[in-house]
Amino acid sequence: MADASHAPNVRSAAAQMHGAERLYRDLFDRAPLPLLVLTPECRIVNANDAYLAATGRRRDTLAGLDMFAAFPDSPHDPQADGVRNLCTSFERVLRTGRRDGMPLQRYDILPEGGCWEVRYWHPANWAALDESGSVLALVHHVTDVTATVLKPRAPTTTLRPEPAADDLLARADAVIRTAKRLQAQTQRDLLNTRRQVRALLGR
């Protein structure tokens, strides 16, 4: 009799747990932030819709893959360092258990059935911990900033300030005085030249 009386409570708790799990999965899948969940060994567990859209990949082809096999460095970029830097960040998270925000990172991607694309990201990584502080999973979040980084910059031109009215008048007055001096000097030179010519001709 006692076991039967507790059966509804057991079913109710199980239903609540199932409902909470469905809610969690729905929130994760629909979150606007691109999120990737990995094992502590960096194998992909799940990716939400935003992450799949940002990388051009499918959930079924990513699940179970090693992170760096799924997203290797681009062979077209001889200076590619995305794998090395991301691996170093994961190691810091595993060692400290704390969130690790990475600086701007170029990490090109190869979408499903497409060609390599240049991408720039702001990545952040953190750990999901159990009650004892052990790492259960790694969470990888990225913000795609490619459009901002590659946005063409308008050429900069140095604009000279407009001169004040008093300054313009002073410049004009100086030009006029200079012109008058040149005119007077020219007239004097012409008179001297005429005198010299007359003296030579004996007039």
Q: What is the pLDDT of residues 29-80, one digit of tens each?
A: 889 999 999 999 999 999 999 999 999 999 999 999 999 999 999 999 999 9
Question: pLDDT confidence of 21, banded at 50, 70, 90?
Answer: confident
Question: pLDDT confidence of 23, banded at 50, 70, 90?
Answer: confident
Question: In whole angstroms, what separates CA 104 from the centre of its chain?
Answer: 6
Average pLDDT over residues 123-130: 96
Residue-level pLDDT at 187: 66
pTM greater than 0.95: no
Structure tokens at 147: 């459009």
80 closest CA partner among 108, 54, 56, 55:
108
Residue 114 sits at the vertex; the CA angle it makes with 113 and 117, to the nearest 5 degrees, is 150
Question: pLDDT confidence of 176, banded at 50, 70, 90?
Answer: low
Mean per-residue pLDDT over the chain, rounded = 84
